[in-house]
């Protein structure tokens, strides 16, 4: 028997109220996500079956108000005004209900029927906050249900209440004193009404309710402790990413490269010519396998760790700590969050810029995100630091390497702020917009949801884009390395052509060419360097750091050369995946070109300075 087609339910709420958890619990991930027409704002739709009827749940972007101050808020308001939804479900946070009630009252004045779900009752109980749901329902004049979506508490009752609201909508409440006022006065009137309702429906033990949050904030957001704590957490994430990715990366590489021989044999059996076998196996497949084996394990570690901080409520504190620096640079405080995302993948960081409301400041964040080194650059950075800038062995060497890597990231942050300041004073003039930031309560992360979000929404998404760029690039690299003109391959001809610019930057033609060949993915820069030095026809891996050090020094590398390569690894044009993402977000070749030129210009200037200082003051 087929399920009957049911109602459409709009899901609305402030950010960080557990709306996504409720959505996932009801739909069981039977959902799809798409952009709102004409905007880069995602709206998720899912379905659930209840009493033989299928209900469609529309998860609208989190918003604090229906008076649009951002594209997300505009999408939520516009959708409610379409009256497409049969019922609007407003999710509120029991731990800070008074603030959430303002949105509830706005929604009730915009559409009907409305059901209110007071979520996070378990957290409220731990903080000694009691919500009288019966009193709240009476004062609001709409159905109210309590829930703890993480554990599933209250979900059956919520589904029953939604079914009743669809089949027999309650009468709308009478008009309030706020109706008909201008938005400014209406906001003040709603705030007063929300305060009066909260005073009657909520009882709080003020001494114990927010004790832990306040203690943590005294450490993590104070002037003295905020920045050091942030750097320590970031260093810990980087260390775990670097240390944890080595073994799975090696295992994945062995697995993928074991497939080369059977794949080559299969193509030879079907009669494929030698050049087709070489292009497909040594070019397309080997390059793609290299990118996957080097890129997947670090992302599979970094993104879950990053999402854990996000789910625990710490990332808004990062924006709070960095807001002063970005405000002075003419940018937006939320750029701190997108900047952190860029450490995992610049493409994800660029997409994350959607959280910035101002188009001008969103564009600044997009254009400067590529100053942050993504995890694809970390293998090269770590190898150079270990070979040329650290001594000793064991724990002390790894700690010193981690400190130097943190120094590279601090330099990248400084360049991000500096370039943001230049953009805001030139091509993107304007004053910083108001920054309204919510510091959500600290919560224990939801491990299952963190894994799903980080692996499906971020890791595999970025990896898929990287593979689509790496495969054709592998073909081009193979052709350049195996097609000869005269006595040399096209690759060596190109390296010779770039010798002059490379020497000017303190490098050589092979190194500079490797950065251009690494356009599909930064992970293949070092293998391309070895391919050029060894005159190989395919990408070359190195069995260990001593072997790599021997090859590099035999080709004229010094400490100054390594420093120039390290700086150029930090600051050069973004990878192909990021460029494609920037174009999709801006729909402008002009801004995409500027995003390419900005970090490249910084790298050229710094590397040339390093080279000429090393010439004048040889070490």
Give residue-wise pLDDT tens across range 499-509: 999 999 999 99
| pLDDT tens per residue across span 186-204 | 777 888 888 999 999 988 8
513 and 365, same structural domain? yes
Q: Which two tokens stand for residue 43?
A: 């709206």
Whether residue 220 is contained in a domain is answered as no
- CA 274 and chain centroid, separation: 42
Q: Is the pLDDT of residue 183 over 80?
A: no
Determine the Cα–Cα distance for residues 382 and 541; give it in Å rounded to an integer. Answer: 16
Res 275: pLDDT: 87
Task: Give every CB contact of residue 389 below 8 A, 6+ residues apart in sequence.
Answer: 404, 559, 562
> Do 230 and 205 share a structural domain?
no
pLDDT digits (tens, 9 = 90+) for 412-434: 999 999 999 999 989 888 776 66
Residue 48 has pLDDT above 60, yes or no: yes
Could you tell me the pTM of the whole model? Answer: 0.72
Residue 250 and residue 180 share a domain: no
Residue 33 has pLDDT above 50, yes or no: no
SS3 state at 592: helix
- The secondary structure of 391-459 as a DSSP string is -S-HHHHHHHHHHHHHHHHHHHHHHHHHHHHHHHHTTT--PPPP-----PPP----HHHHHHIIIIIII
pLDDT for res 5? 61
Examine the domain organization and report whether 507 and 555 are in the same domain: yes
Bridge partners (DSSP) of residue 118 are: 92, 146
- The Cα–Cα gap between 96 and 104 comes to 13
Q: Domain count of the chain?
A: 2
pLDDT score, position 568: 96
Residue 449 lies in a domain: yes
pLDDT at 161: 93
464 compared with 76, residue with greater pLDDT:
76
38 in the same domain as 163: yes
> 161 lies in which domain range?
4-209
Q: How confident is the model at residue 437 (pLDDT cuts 50, 70, 90)?
A: low
- With respect to residue 217, please indicate whether it lies within any of the assigned structural domains: no
Query: Do 182 and 319 fall into the same domain?
Result: no
CB atoms within 10 A of CB 531: 23
| pLDDT, tens only, 376-395 | 788 788 888 888 887 666 66
Q: How far is CA 103 from CA 9, 92, 98, in A?
A: 17, 9, 10
Between 530 and 176, the more confident residue is 530
Q: Tokens 């050049």 label which residue? A: 275
Q: Give the confidence band of 27 by pLDDT, cuts at 50, 70, 90.
A: confident
What would the two tokens of residue 302 be? Answer: 């970094």
Q: Is residue 216 part of a domain?
A: no
Closest to 23 in 3D by CA, of 2, 43, 53: 43
CATH code of the domain in which 174 resides: 3.40.50.300
Q: What is the largest CA-CA distance in the chain?
A: 88
For residue 497, is it within any domain? yes
| pLDDT at residue number 71 | 67
Does residue 219 lie in a domain region? no
Query: Could you report the per-residue pLDDT of 438-496, keeping only the tens digit for each?
Result: 677 777 777 766 776 677 666 776 677 667 767 887 888 888 888 888 888 888 889 89
Q: Has residue 179 got a pLDDT over 60?
A: no
Give the C-alpha separation, 11 to 158, whole Å. 13
272 with 140, same domain? no
Euclidean distance between CA atoms 208 and 215, whole angstroms = 11
Q: Tell whether 195 and 276 lie within a shared domain.
A: no
Confidence of residue 590 (pLDDT cuts 50, 70, 90): very high
Mean residue pLDDT of the chain comes to 83
Q: Are 266 and 421 in contact (CB under 8 A)?
A: no
Is 592 in contact with 579 (CB distance < 8 Å)?
Answer: yes
Residue 214 lies in a domain: no
Nearest in space to 545 (alpha carbons), one of 301, 380, 377, 400:
380
d(CA 191, CA 288): 56
Please state, in angstroms and rounded to a whole number, the distance separating the CA atoms of residues 116 and 118: 6
Q: Is residue 38 scored above 50 in pLDDT?
A: no
Instruction: Please indicate, yes or no, if residue 292 is contained in any of the structural domains.
Output: yes
pLDDT in tens, 206-254: 666 667 777 888 888 888 888 888 888 877 877 777 677 778 877 888 8
Could you tell me if 185 and 254 lie in one domain? Answer: no
- pLDDT band, very low/low/confident/very high, at 39 (cuts 50, 70, 90): very low
Co-location of 277 and 408 in the same domain: yes
Asked if residue 472 and residue 334 are part of one domain, the reply reads: yes
250 shares its domain with 153:
no
């Amino acid at each position: 028997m087929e399920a009957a087609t049911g109602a459409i339910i709009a899901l609305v709420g402030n950010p960080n109220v557990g709306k996504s958890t409720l959505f996932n619990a009801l739909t069981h991930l039977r959902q799809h996500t798409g952009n709102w027409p004409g905007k880069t704002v995602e709206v998720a739709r899912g379905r659930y079956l209840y009493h033989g009827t299928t209900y469609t749940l529309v998860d609208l972007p989190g918003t604090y108000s229906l008076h649009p101050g951002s594209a997300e808020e505009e999408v939520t308001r516009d959708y409610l005004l379409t009256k497409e939804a049969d019922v609007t479900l407003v999710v509120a946070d029991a731990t800070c209900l008074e603030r959430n009630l303002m949105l509830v009252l706005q929604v009730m004045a915009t559409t009907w029927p409305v059901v209110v779900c007071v979520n996070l009752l378990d957290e409220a109980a731990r903080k000694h906050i009691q919500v009288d749901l019966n009193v709240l329902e009476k004062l609001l004049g709409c159905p109210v249900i309590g829930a703890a979506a993480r554990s599933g508490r209250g979900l059956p009752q919520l589904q029953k209440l939604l079914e009743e609201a669809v089949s027999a909508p309650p009468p709308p409440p009478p008009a309030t004193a706020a109706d008909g006022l201008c938005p400014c006065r209406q906001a003040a009137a709603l705030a007063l009404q929300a305060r009066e309702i909260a005073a009657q429906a909520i009882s709080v033990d003020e001494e114990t309710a927010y004790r832990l949050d306040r203690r943590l904030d005294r450490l993590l957001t104070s002037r003295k402790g905020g920045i050091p704590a942030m750097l320590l957490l970031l260093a810990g994430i980087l260390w775990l990413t670097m240390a944890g990715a080595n073994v799975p990366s090696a295992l994945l590489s062995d697995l993928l490269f074991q497939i080369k021989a059977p794949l080559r044999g299969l193509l030879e059996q079907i009669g494929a010519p030698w050049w087709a076998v070489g292009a497909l196996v040594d070019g397309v497949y080997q390059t793609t396998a290299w990118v996957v084996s080097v890129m997947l394990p670090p992302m599979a570690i970094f993104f879950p760790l990053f999402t854990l901080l996000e789910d625990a409520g710490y990332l808004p504190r990062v924006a709070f700590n960095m807001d002063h620096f970005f405000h002075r640079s003419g940018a937006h405080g939320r750029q701190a969050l997108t900047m952190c995302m860029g450490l995992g993948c610049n493409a994800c960081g660029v997409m994350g810029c959607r959280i910035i409301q101002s188009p001008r400041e969103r564009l600044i964040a997009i254009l400067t995100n590529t100053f942050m080194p993504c995890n694809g650059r970390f293998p090269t950075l770590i190898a150079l630091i270990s070979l040329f800038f650290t001594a000793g062995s064991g724990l002390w060497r790894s700690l010193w390497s981690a400190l130097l890597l943190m120094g590279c990231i601090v330099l990248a942050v400084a360049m991000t702020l500096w370039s943001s300041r230049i953009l805001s004073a030139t091509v993107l003039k304007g004053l910083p917009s108001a920054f309204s930031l919510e510091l959500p309560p600290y919560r224990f992360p939801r491990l299952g949801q963190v894994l799903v979000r980080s692996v499906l929404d971020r890791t595999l998404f970025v990896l898929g884009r990287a593979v689509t760029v790496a495969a054709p690039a592998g073909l081009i690299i193979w052709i350049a390395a195996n097609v000869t003109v005269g006595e040399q391959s096209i690759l060596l001809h190109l390296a010779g052509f770039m010798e002059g610019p490379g020497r000017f930057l303190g490098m050589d033609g092979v190194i500079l060419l490797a950065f251009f060949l690494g356009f599909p993915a930064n992970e293949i820069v070092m293998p391309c360097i070895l391919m050029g030095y060894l005159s190989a026809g395919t990408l070359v891996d190195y069995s260990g750091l001593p072997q790599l050090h021997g090859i590099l020094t035999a080709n004229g590398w010094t400490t100054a050369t390594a420093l120039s390569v390290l700086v150029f690894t930090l600051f050069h044009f973004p990878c192909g995946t990021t460029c494609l993402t920037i174009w999709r977000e801006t729909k402008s070749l002009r801004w995409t070109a500027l995003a390419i030129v900005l970090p490249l210009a910084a790298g050229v200037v710094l590397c040339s300075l390093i080279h000429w200082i090393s010439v004048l003051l040889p070490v």
